[in-house]
């Protein structure tokens, strides 16, 4: 029951994060980095929800891969988990940057510096969401449920 | 293991389902948003949006009328709501697209003083101007021509025969009584006949010549026409009227107010008057299909009556080369700037507003003249207005500049913690009308005979007063600045 509550909280946090990526007044992405012209374009081209989906899927997908695919006693140390976290944390900003670059190129926009600044914040969001996902689903892993912190 | 996968699948489905429910926009909404973001507000784009609606009439029944046509009002509301959610808020006036197959009625004045404008020896500027109006009207099959003087008479020929006619006054000889022009009847009838699907155009010398003015003082005639104009137009407040002054060769008899005609060979002003519903006028003023029709070539001056309610699309530019100091545009209210601070070194605050002023039908002489505006603010801000040129637009500022025509740069020392800036383009009675008016036309040797019109100001002032119900501004930009 306690574990299900963790799962429910994790899902709620992820949905809240996604919903906040839609918001115009209190947008989760704009709380950490804001440049009016650049962010207005991200908003108008509806890129926030897509990036939120990329971040959420990578976090939950990465955690799922670790706990249910890797799921081995050979990889149940905290640094194995941290390695997967690091990979996801690096891949998410790269994927978002590629997405921004592609969308902006089609729209004839050029915001290189702003894009780099913007995606660095995604590092933190991704890491945070990976931890949330890990604590949501690790309980049912047969071999890694004690990683990164023993129960 | 099976149980674990089941659990994971449920989690993924729950998250994905919740996310999808957040983003449930329809194909129509996506198409509208895309058009607005790309600033592609063309007829072709509008047609493609209409085809989405017509392709799925059940889903989009709210945007269709009972007879299967597009409900322009409802679609306009959808566009407005999506546009208002963008940054900066974007607008698309689709009213003109609902005016497909608009009709045009030309009222061609055939008074004695009009005939010499189309004399065979002249360059025929008047006829050319009328021909251009017909040719540039997007729905040429819906053009009707009337001859007017003491009354309104349908032109007996075809549009093609009118266009090709080298001496239109000769071929319409005998139509009506050319010895006087009854403005009361003409404007009254035109305003009555004009409906939301019709544009009326009067080609006239704007000389009020009622029957039997012998021994009547000029002032009496002026007062009479002024009252007549006010009375006629006051009863038609939903209409708008645009007047264009042109000049043409004139060779023939001129009939002054004292009824003692004389021969005149030179140039004389004539006028094209467009009458339509205010909403129709707003729509055609901004519609590219009507651009050549509405922006009359060779017009020396123009003025649009009853334009007070015009909505001007504008937004503050977040990044601009002239900007000095700092500010942040409020997302909920783009007319509000927060965290406003002057430049650290100079203390000066400078920011720029991009606006679409073309729909107002004013020349740059008026629009770019700060004297045409009233600016009120506690900080005594000053403005500078310049036209946007294509080289100013790049990919990054496209969303803010495209579709806009002028930059209004606001500069001053921001004082206090809050200020309200109000920028108004005043709708003054135009000076050119007074300058184009004469009070005596009894001799061609009188100064300004070739450039002025007898009693013009009095008639037009009557119309101006009829429409002017206070707050005589073309538009107002209200900005709130918070430190």
Q: Does B21 touch chain A (CB under 8 A)?
A: no
The phi and psi torsions of B200 (rounded to 5 degrees) equal -110, 140
Instruction: State yes or no: pLDDT of B309 exceeds 60.
Output: no
Interface of B with A in 394-423 (CB under 8 A): 394-400
Question: Is the CB of residue B241 less than 8 Å from the CB of residue B273?
Answer: yes
Q: Which range is most confident: A60-64, B19-23, B288-292, B437-441?
A: A60-64
pLDDT of B458 above 70: yes
pLDDT at residue B471 in the model: 59
A125: distance to nearest CA of chain B, Å? Answer: 17
Across residues B86-103, what is the average pLDDT? Answer: 77
The minimal CB distance from A19 to the residues B8, B22, B397 is found for B22
Per-residue pLDDT tens digits of chain A, which is 151 residues long: 788 899 999 999 999 999 998 887 788 898 888 888 888 889 988 899 999 999 999 999 999 999 999 999 999 899 999 999 999 999 999 999 999 999 988 887 888 999 999 999 999 999 999 999 999 999 999 999 898 877 6
How far A107 CA lies from chain B's nearest CA (Å)? 8
Choose between B214 and B208: higher pLDDT: B208
Query: Do β-strands B406-413 and B348-355 pair in parallel, antiparallel, or remain unpaired?
Result: antiparallel
Q: What pLDDT sits at residue B407? A: 94
Both B289 and B422 in a single domain? no
Both B88 and B126 in a single domain?
A: no
Are residues B241 and B149 part of one domain? yes
Q: What is the mean pLDDT of residues B317-321?
A: 87
Closest CB to B22 among A18, A36, A68: A18
Instruction: Kindly report the number of other CB atoms within 10 A of residue B236's CB atom.
Output: 20
Residue B6: what pLDDT? 59
* A137 to B11: CB separation less than 8 angstroms, yes or no: yes
Percent of chain B residues topping a pLDDT of 70: 92
Task: Inform me whether the pLDDT recorded for B3 exceeds 80.
Answer: no
- Which of the two residues, B217 and A100, has the higher pLDDT score? A100
Do the domain assignments include residue B1?
Answer: no
Confidence tier at B91 by pLDDT (50, 70, 90): confident
Task: Count CB-CB contacts under 10 A for residue B350.
Answer: 20
Cβ pair B19:A43 closer than 8 A? no
Place of tokens 């007044």: A25
* Total tally of structural domains belonging to chain A: 1
Q: Is the pLDDT of residue B128 over 80?
A: yes
Q: Quick one: tokens of B339?
A: 């965290």
Q: Do A109 and B395 make contact, defined as CB atoms within 8 angstroms?
A: yes
Total domains, chain B: 3
Closest-approach residue (CA) in chain B for A8: B11
The answer to whether the beta carbons of residues B244 and B302 sit under 8 Å apart is yes
For residue A19, what is the enclosing H or E element? helix A2-22
Q: Name the average pLDDT for chain B.
A: 84
Among B68, B92, B116, which residue terminates a domain?
B92
Residue B436 in any domain: the answer is no
Residues B37 and B185 in one domain: no
Closest CA in chain A for residue B331: A25
Residues B148 and B190 in one domain: yes
In-domain check, residue A148: no
B344 and B260 together in one domain = no
Report the chain B residue with the minimal C-alpha distance to residue A141: B4
Of the residues B24, B331, B351, the best mutation for testing chain A's interface (the one with the most A CB atoms within 10 Å of its CB) is B331
Q: Examine the domain organization and report whether B160 and B268 are in the same domain.
A: yes
pLDDT of residue B99: 65
Q: What is the 3-state secondary structure (H, E, C) of chain B?
A: CHHHHHHHHHHHHHHHHHHHHHCCCCHHHHHHHHHHHCCCCCHHHHHHHHHHHHHCCCCCHHHECCCCCECHHHHHHHHHHHHHCCCCCCCCCCHHHHHCCCEEEEEEECCCCCHHHHCCCCCCHHHHHHHHHHHHCCCHHHEEEEEECCCEEECCCCHHHHHHCCCHHHHCCCCCCCCCECHHHHHHHHHHHCCCCEEEEEEECCCCECCCCCCCCHHHHHHHHHHHHHHHHHCCCCEEEEEEEEEEEEEEEECCCCCCCEEEEEEEEEEEEEEEEHHHHHHHHHCHHHHHHHCCCCCCEEEEECCCCCCCCEEECCCCCCCECEEEECCCCCCEEEEEECCCCCCEEEEEEEECCHHHCCCHHHHCCHHHEEEECCCCCEEEEEECCHHHCCCCCHHHHCCCCEEEEEEEECCCCEEEEEEEEECCCCHHHHHCEECCCCCCCCCCCCCCEECHHHHHHHHHHHHCCCCCEEEEEEEEEEC
Count contacts between A and B (CB, < 8 Å).
Answer: 82
Residue numbers of the domain that contains A64: 2-27+36-140
SS3 assignment for B205-264 = CCCCECCCCCCCCHHHHHHHHHHHHHHHHHCCCCEEEEEEEEEEEEEEEECCCCCCCEEE
Within this chain, do residues B136 and B262 fall inside the same structural domain, yes or no?
yes
Burial A49-82 (b: 16+ CB within 10 A, else e): ebbbbbbbbbbbebbbebbbebbeeebbeeebbe
Cβ of B37 within 8 Å of Cβ of A45? The answer is yes
Better-scored residue on pLDDT, A42 or B112: A42
How far apart, in whole angstroms, are the C-alpha atoms of residue B167 and residue B159? 14
Residue A75 counted as domain residue: yes
Cβ-defined contact of B19 to A49 (cutoff 8 Å): yes
The A-side interface with B (CB below 8 A) comprises 7, 11, 14-15, 18-19, 22, 24-25, 34, 36-37, 40-41, 43-46, 49, 52-53, 56, 60, 64, 68, 104, 107-111, 136-137, 140-142
Evaluate whether residue B361 is within a structural domain. Answer: yes
Asked, for residue A87, whether it belongs to a domain, the answer is yes
Shortest Cα–Cα distance, A145 to chain B (Å): 12
- Cα distance from B447 to chain A (closest Cα, Å)? 57
Of A43, A44, A140, the CB nearest to B4: A140
Inform me whether the C-beta atom of residue B44 falls under 8 Å from chain A C-beta atoms: no
**Encoding tokens for residue B327?**
């500010």
Q: How far apart are the first and last CA of chain B?
A: 60
Give CA–CA dist B457/B439, Å, rounded: 10
Same domain, B50 and B109: no
* pLDDT exceeds 80 at position B404: yes
- Distance, in angstroms, between B86 CA and closest chain A CA? 6
Are B135 and B35 within one domain?
Answer: no
B22 touches chain A (CB under 8 A): yes
Q: Do A24 and B19 touch (CB under 8 A)?
A: no
Residue A151's pLDDT is: 64
Is there a contact between B4 and A142 if contact means CB atoms under 8 Å apart?
yes
The pTM (predicted TM-score) of the whole model is 0.61
Closest-approach residue (CA) in chain A for B333 = A25
**Residue A135 within any structural domain of the chain:** yes
For residue A30, what is the nearest residue in chain B, using CA coordinates?
B331
What average pLDDT score do residues B439-452 get? 90
- Asked if residue B220 and residue B134 are part of one domain, the reply reads yes
Are B61 and B165 in the same domain? Answer: no
Give the containing element (helix H, strand E) for A99: helix A78-107
Indicate whether B8 belongs to any domain.
no
- What is the Cα–Cα distance from A98 to B467, expressed in whole angstroms? 57
Chain B CA closest to residue A34? B328
pLDDT tens-digit series, residues B131-178? 999 999 988 888 999 988 888 889 888 889 888 887 888 888 888 887
Full domain range(s) for residue B44:
23-92
In a domain, B10, yes or no: no
């Amino acid at each position: 029951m306690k574990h299900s509550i963790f799962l429910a909280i994790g899902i709620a946090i992820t949905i809240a994060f996604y919903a906040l990526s839609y918001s115009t007044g209190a947008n989760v992405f704009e709380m950490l980095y804001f440049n009016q012209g650049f962010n207005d374009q991200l908003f108008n081209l509806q890129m926030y929800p897509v990036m939120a989906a990329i971040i959420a899927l990578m976090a939950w997908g990465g955690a799922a891969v670790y706990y249910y695919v890797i799921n081995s006693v050979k990889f149940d140390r905290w640094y194995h988990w941290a390695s997967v976290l690091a990979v996801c944390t690096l891949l998410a900003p790269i994927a978002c940057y590629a997405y921004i670059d592609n969308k902006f190129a089609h729209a004839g926009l050029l915001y290189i510096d702003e894009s780099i600044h913007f995606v660095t914040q995604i590092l933190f969001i991704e890491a945070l969401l990976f931890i949330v996902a890990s604590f949501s689903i690790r309980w049912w892993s047969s071999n890694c449920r004690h990683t990164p912190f023993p129960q | 293991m099976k149980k674990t996968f089941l659990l994971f699948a449920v989690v993924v489905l729950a998250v994905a389902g919740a996310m999808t429910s957040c983003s449930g926009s329809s194909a129509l909404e996506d198409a509208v948003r895309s058009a607005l973001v790309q600033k592609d507000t063309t007829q072709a784009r509008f047609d493609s949006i209409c085809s989405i609606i017509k392709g799925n009439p059940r889903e989009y029944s709210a945007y269709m009328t009972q007879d299967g046509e597009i409900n322009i009002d409802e679609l306009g509301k959808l566009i407005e709501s999506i546009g208002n959610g963008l940054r900066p808020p974007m607008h698309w006036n689709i009213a003109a697209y609902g005016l497909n197959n608009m009709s045009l009625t030309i009222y061609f004045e055939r008074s004695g003083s009009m005939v010499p404008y189309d004399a065979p020896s002249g360059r025929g500027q008047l006829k050319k101007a009328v021909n251009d109006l017909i040719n540039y009207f997007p729905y040429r099959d819906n053009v009707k021509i009337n001859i007017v003087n003491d009354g309104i008479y349908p032109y007996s020929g075809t549009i093609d025969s009118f266009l090709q006619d080298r001496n239109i006054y000769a071929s319409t000889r005998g139509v009506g009584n050319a010895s006087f022009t009854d403005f009361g009847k003409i404007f009254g009838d035109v305003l009555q006949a004009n409906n939301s699907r019709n544009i009326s155009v009067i080609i006239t010398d704007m000389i009020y010549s009622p029957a039997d003015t012998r021994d009547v003082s000029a002032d009496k005639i002026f007062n009479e026409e002024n009252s007549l104009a006010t009375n006629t137009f006051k009863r038609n407040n939903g209409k708008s009227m645009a007047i264009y002054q042109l000049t043409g060769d004139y060779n023939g008899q001129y009939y002054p107010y004292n009824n003692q005609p004389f021969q005149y060979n030179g140039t004389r002003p004539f006028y094209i008057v467009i009458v339509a519903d205010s909403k129709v006028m707003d729509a055609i003023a901004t519609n590219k299909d009507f651009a050549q029709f509405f922006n009359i070539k060779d017009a020396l001056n123009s003025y649009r009556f009853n334009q007070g309610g015009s909505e001007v699309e504008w937004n503050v530019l977040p990044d601009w080369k002239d900007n000095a100091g700092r500010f942040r545009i409020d997302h909920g209210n783009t007319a509000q700037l927060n965290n406003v601070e002057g430049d650290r070194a100079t203390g000066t605050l400078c920011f720029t507003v991009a606006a679409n002023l073309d729909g107002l039908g004013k020349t740059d002489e008026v629009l770019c003249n700060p004297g045409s505006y009233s600016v009120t603010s506690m900080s005594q801000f000053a403005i500078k207005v310049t036209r946007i040129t294509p080289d100013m637009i790049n990919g990054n500022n496209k969303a803010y500049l495209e579709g806009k025509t002028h930059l209004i740069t606001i500069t001053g020392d921001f004082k206090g913690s809050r200020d309200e800036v109000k920028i108004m383009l005043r709708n003054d009675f135009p000076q050119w009308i007074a300058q184009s008016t004469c009070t005596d036309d009894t001799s061609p040797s009188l100064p300004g005979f070739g450039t002025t019109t007898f009693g013009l100001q009095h008639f037009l002032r009557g119309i101006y007063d009829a429409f002017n119900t206070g707050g005589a501004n073309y538009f107002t930009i209200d900005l709130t600045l918070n430190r």
